Each structure stands twice: as structure tokens, then as C-alpha cells.
Chain A
Amino acid sequence: MRTQIAPSRTTRLVVLTVVGVIFLIPIVAMLEFSLRAGLDGGYNLGHWTAIFDPENERTYRNLFRGVTNSLILAVVTVVLMLILLVPTMVLVKLRLPRLERPLELICLLPITIPAIVLVVGLAPVYSVVARFFGANAWTLSFAYVILVLPYAYRAIQANLISVDVVTLAEAARTLGAGWGTVIARVIVPNLRRGMLAAAVISVAVVLGEYTIASLLNRINLQTAVVQVSRSDPYAAVIFALLALAFGFLLLFILGRSSRPSRRPS
């Protein structure tokens, strides 16, 4: 019966092919660009191998520092986000259902307050943060948790409404479990899928973050790529391509792994 709404095969094929090709052109162009041998034409792997050549270590040092920093930031952000968000959401669901709407509103607020606005007020906040934690790269995670809040909230919420946590918690309590046991051994295992999705999306957002890092003068993957592009556009394009591919792979694996269970509508 779905066929009554769905487009014809030809329509689908034409639309998806045209849009698909338009979106593939820049990706192909990046690949072509990164393989160019020199000004007089021809292709080789020169720009790719140059990145890992020990001789160029100094040139690309910042780039690798950016990659390392971004990976650290991703891990710290995910851990902080889960520690803050999961107990709060479970608590509100179980004990304070009246606060569900306000919590949603707060979690979605960062969509309305973009990073470029936030960073204006973050500069003074970070001068205080630096006094407590120093100017270590990982401290950017404090701001990144706010940036990923809407995505993480939605992912966990989608899981939370598909599981009857109230009944689960009552059952566990009746059987004599304390609240710690209820959360750690009954509820969290049921939220694993939502937490995984939240973590993956957070990693993607953190690895792609540029605005806050650049205006607070921090080095992460994105700011390092922009910096290296001024002296070596080939390296910048190669890292951009790799980052896009990595992000795609991350979301693709998540999409495939969450397949068997149907999303609640």
C-alpha cells in the first residue's frame, strides 16, 4: 500500500542520482586535488606520503597535536556528558516528571544560542577556568558538553521513552534493590543504545568543532587544519577528506548496528 504514496522508480532514480552526483563532486575534487603531482600535471601519492615523512615532522607537528587534542576532547566530552545527562534524565523521568518539559527546553537551548554567540561570553568564563585547571587542551570540553547537549538529549530521550523505566525501577525496588543498583544494573543497561548514539554524535560534533576553539585560541583538529592550509593546502584537503570519511564511517556503523530494533514512532 506504501506504493500509493511513494514516488515511481524513475522519479526516485533521477532525483537521487542527480543530488548524489552533485554531492559527490566536491568529494571527488578533494581526492583529485590531494593526488596532484605538481604544477605541470600528473598524479602521485606525494602529498599523502609527505604527511608521514619524518623529515616533515616539524611542518605537521601542529596538525598531529590538533588530532590528539581533538581525540582527548572527544573522550572527555562524552564522559562528562554521560555523567551529567543520564542520571539527570533518569531522575526527572522517575521522580520529577513535572520537570520533563523544562529539562527538554534547557537541553535544546544551545540550538538557539549558537557557538559564535556563546564564545563571546565564554572568554571571561575561561579566564576563571584557567585559574583552576590551567590552559590544558581538555578544558574546552566544558563548553563542548553544552554544544552536544541537544543531540545527546534527543538520542537518550528517544531510548528513554521506548523503555518503561518507571515499571522497571518499581520492580527492582520491590525486589529489594537500592537506588544505586536500580540505576547501574537495571536502567543504564536498558539505555545502552541511546547512550551509544549520544556518544557517537557527540564525538562527531567535537571532532568538527571550530568556532569556540579558534576564538579561544586553542589547537584542535579544525583550527590546525585551517592553520596548515595557509602553508600547505594539500595537507589541509587530505585531513579534511580523512575527517569527513571518519565521521561518515562513525555514523554509518552506528546506523547499521542499531538496525534490528525498530525506532518508536
Chain B
Amino acid sequence: MNHARGGWALLGLTPFAVYVILFLLIPTVLAAGSGFFTDDGAFTWNNMSGLFEPAILQTFVSSAWVAGFTAVVGAVVGALVCYALLGSRPDGMLRTVVDSASGVLAQFGGVMLAFAFIATIGIQGLITQWLLTSFGINIFEGGVWLYQVPGLLVVYLYFQIPLMVITFMPALEGLKPQWAEAVATLGGSRRVFWTRVAIPVLLPSFLGSTLLLFANGFSAFATAAALISQGAQIVPLQIRAALVSETVLGRQNMAGALALGMIVVMVVVMAGYSVLQRRTQRWQR
């Protein structure tokens, strides 16, 4: 009886299961697998070996550099903002404003941020023109770097820092005031509390959030696509080039190989994230 009911309950999962298979599993398998086949459906290692050509390797290095740099800077600045917000009322106006602004920029910014920066430090941008007319400083003396990898470093920070605020804040709020009291009772200073208690407790969460930021920066496409129309300096743009022209390195289905390469990096990073996440939760009960 009970067993039969369990069967009915399982049946209730069918719509969700079918949906996920159709629109998540199949696309992922197709994306990861298509790199192993030619257009005619014959098996090939050709695209995989293409991943190790210097030109493609270079884009993976650039992507890792952009993701790594913005993750580390984003994590440090974001954590600093979280620290500054500590002690403000969680349901107060300040927190609501910071949370909503962070949410918008982290999850929705993409293309919008590209245009924000074209208006700010584009050739006709507010800051560019102000520096030029007031101080005679030309920020683009060595070339217009906004539409290159250095530009991505600046713009990505505007969604990485907010993402850090969203993901790291709960951990910081998990610091129990009793721990500080305990340290004080035992004669420890504020400094001892931070170096011996708070930072060791927060470290897994901080590193985990940094990894999440890395994954986020590594996979971001919209901002780069809106800023960079020429060339393909990072992996997502390389995938765009492969999808649009289908002739990256003169190979068919190169997009599939690039997608697989990205999945491998993402799985490694996210596995590290979930390990650190589990360590974090130990202190949040």
C-alpha cells in the first residue's frame, strides 16, 4: 500500500523531470558532446585537439585572468562592504537599498553595465572628457582599452562586488556576538577576536564566495559581447565566434569543444565551492 503510494508520488515528479531533461540535460549533453563529431556525424578528436592550439589556450588564460582578478578584488571589496554593513538593521532602509542595488547589478546588469561604462569611460564618456578637458589627461593614450580585456576588468567588478555582498553577507551575519563576549571575558581584545575567531570561521565562506565569483566571471558573456564587437579575447566570445561563423580554426563544431572546456573548468570550480560551502554551514547553525 505504502509502496504503491510512493509510486504515485514519483509519478507526480514527471512534469518537472521531463522538463529538466528536455531543456537542461539534452542541451548540456549536446553542447558537451557535439565537439566530438563532425557535421556529418562522424567521430573526431579534431575539435578537442583544437582546444590546445595556442590561440585557443590563450583565450582560456585570458578568461581565467579576467575571472581571477575580478574575483579576488571583488571578494575583498565586497567583504569590506559587508563588514561596514554589520550592525545595521537587517530590515532597515540602508540594507534594503544595498541589497536591491546588489541584486540588480549582480543578476541583471550584463548589457546595461556595458552601456553605463560607455557613458562613463567611453571615448565621449563623462569621466574621459572631464579628465581630458580639466587636467589634460587622456586615459586612452595607449589605445582605447575599454573595448579590450583591461576594460572587462573594470566593468566586471561592477557585478562581482555586488555578488560578493549578496553571497558573503549571510556568513558575516552568522558571527555570534556571544563569541566576541566570550573572547572579551577571557581577556582578549577586539583584535584577538578577529584574528583568532572571526577570520578562521569566515575563511571557508570567503574562499567559497571567491570561487563563486570566479565561476561567475568566467562564464559571463553579455557584458563582454556588448563591449567587444571585434575579436574574441575570452572563451565565451570564442564560442560566439564559433556559433556565428562556424569556422574557428577552420574546424566544425568547435563551439562544442569550447563548451566542454568551459564545463570542465566550471565543474572543478563549483566542486571546490560546494566543499567550502559545507564547511561554512557548520558554523551557521
Which residues of chain A from 193 to 244 have any CB-CB distance to chain B below 8 Å in the complex? 201, 204-205, 207-211, 214-215, 222, 225-226, 229, 233, 236-237, 240-241, 243-244
Contacts A92-B13, A226-B226, A259-B91: A33 and B107 contacting too (C-beta < 8 A)? no
- Which chain A residues lie closer than 8 Å to B16 at the CB level? 84-85, 88
Contact partner of B240 (CB less than 8 A), chosen from A143, A215, A244, is A215
B79 smallest CB distance to A (angstroms): 11
Given the interface pairs A84-B16, A91-B12, A122-B27, the reply to whether A114 lies near B243 with Cβ below 8 Å is no
Given contacts A3-B87, A121-B28, contact A96 B177 (CB under 8 A): no
Instruction: Indicate the size class of the contact surface on chain B.
Output: 35 or more
Residues of A within 8 A of B266 (CB): 112-114, 117
Chain A CB within 8 A of B100 CB = yes
**Do B119 and A26 touch across chains, with their CB atoms under 8 A apart?**
yes
- Verify if B222 is at the interface (C-beta below 8 Å from A): yes
Q: Is the interface of B mostly helix, strand, loop or mixed?
A: helix
Interface residues of A in 16-31 (CB under 8 A from B): 16, 19, 23, 25-30
User: Which residues of the other chain, A, contact B80 by a CB distance below 8 angstroms?
Assistant: 15, 19
Are B180 and A116 interface neighbours, CB within 8 A?
Answer: no
Chief secondary structure at chain A's binding surface: helix
Contact A30:B115 (CB < 8 A) given known A5-B177, A112-B266, A124-B30: yes
A5 near B198: Cβ-Cβ < 8 Å = yes
Taking A29-B120, A120-B239 as known contacts, 9 extra A-B pairs with beta carbons closer than 8 A to each other, sorted by chain A number, are A23-B158, A33-B119, A91-B13, A95-B12, A99-B13, A121-B29, A121-B30, A207-B108, A247-B108
Q: Which residues of B come within 8 Å of A, CB atoms?
A: 5-6, 9-10, 12-13, 15-16, 19-20, 22-24, 26-32, 34, 77, 80-81, 83-88, 90-91, 94, 96-97, 99-101, 103-105, 107-113, 115-120, 124-127, 158, 161, 173-175, 177-178, 180-181, 184, 190, 193, 198, 215, 219-222, 225-226, 236, 239-240, 243-244, 255-256, 258-259, 262-263, 266-267, 270, 284
